[in-house]
Amino acid sequence: MTRYAPSLAEIRPDAKEEIPVFDIGPYLAGVPGALETLAEQLRYALENIGFYFIVNHGVPQTLIDATFSAASQFHGQSLEKKMEHPFNEHNIGYVPIGGSTTRHSQLNQNNRPNQVESLFVKRDLPADHPDVVNGVRFRAANHWPVGLPGFRETVVAYADALEKLGKSLLPLYALALDMPANTFDAAFSDPMYTLRLSHYPEQPPRADNQFGLAPHSDTSFMTLLVQNKVQGLSVRLPNGNWIDAPALPGSFLVNGGDLLRRWTNDRFLATPHRVINNSGRERYAIPFFLDCNLNWPMECLPTCQSADNPPKYEPITYSDYLAWYRKQNYAAPQKDGDVALSAY
């Protein structure tokens, strides 16, 4: 499956029931025509499905394996140790199993607490960074556990690699939107991102509305999820059908989120998805959520509007969007410490 996805002329009538696979190796190597070919295929994927796989992405498997191991190490600690790093107003820190409930999504009502625990990490800013010193929202220092040799180094190396990979895809998005390849360069010169190290315990059959992570769409511009050894992710296609995301060795599953959808005036999809771990095994996931610069004004792109299709949303920055999102999601009464995992 390490090949280009079919061209638009070759798309079958049932192609919208599948997640396409893109071999980005030739593009990353600078092969003539690869950029244009992939941009066309990406346009189709994001306008009709909202998800796609990439292979030959260049992220070392050794680093991927080390990061999964780091996630396992962290979650293997006692709850007391993990709670030394509580989730905070900067969306950094640890959320225990049952500590989040997906409330904002209209896809499923009366959700029970999510059966997942997660450590949220952002860019590793030093304590003397001006944004840290001045308490800038979403730009705080990370919470690093002690007693886990190499944990911080591995996690930072993985985040660096995923930031590089995500930024390498931006010219494809620009061309897919009929804009110059460098359109997003300035907006992602110092991008915001979140890496989530998650653990889903085996989930026995329970009452309705119980999920590892309830149906939701991401808030991100781009989410990159490396292939999981234990599956459990399902995607809700635009036609309403749910499909299980297949296991594709050596791949990343990529999807757009609400920021991409908003920026493109709903042209590109933010496709809902959910997690149910009924595999009989422990499941770990290390999704990476890439966004633009903290205060970049996201206003409707010129190729995504017209006289018949005016902008649907006011311009907004990443920081203002997340502040609005949290306020919206916290409007309903909830338990202390209950947070919105589905935002990431």
Report if residue 250 sits inside a domain: yes
Report if residue 17 sits inside a domain: no
Output the pTM of the full model. 0.90
Q: Is the pLDDT of residue 103 over 80?
A: no
User: In the structure, what pLDDT confidence band is assigned to residue 12 with cuts at 50, 70 and 90?
Assistant: very low
Q: Is the pLDDT of residue 331 over 60?
A: no
Report if residue 41 sits inside a domain: no
Report if residue 5 sits inside a domain: no
Report if residue 11 sits inside a domain: no
Report if residue 321 sits inside a domain: yes
Q: What is the phi/psi pair of residue 298, to 5°?
A: -90, 105
CATH number at residue 155: 2.60.120.330
**Dihedral through CA 56, CA 62, CA 64, CA 65, nearest 10?**
130
Report if residue 26 sits inside a domain: no
Report if residue 35 sits inside a domain: no
Q: Do 33 and 1 meet the contact criterion of CB atoms below 8 Å apart?
A: no
Q: Which residues of 243-263 are buried (b: 16+ CB within 10 A; e: fewer)?
A: bebeebebbbbbbbbbbbbbb
For residue 202, count other CB atoms closer than 10 A to its CB: 15
Total count of domains within the chain: 1
Determine the pLDDT at residue 340: 45
Query: What tens digit of pLDDT does each residue of 216-254 get?
Result: 889 999 999 999 888 889 899 999 999 999 989 999 999
For residue 57, count other CB atoms closer than 10 A to its CB: 22
Q: Which of 51-60, 92-101, 123-132 has the lowest mean pLDDT?
A: 92-101
User: In the structure, what pLDDT confidence band is assigned to residue 6 with cuts at 50, 70 and 90?
Assistant: very low
Q: Which domain holds residue 327?
A: 46-343
Query: What tens digit of pLDDT does each residue of 24-79 get?
Result: 999 999 999 999 999 999 999 999 999 999 999 999 999 999 999 999 999 999 99
Nearest to 244 by CA among 202, 73, 253, 162: 253
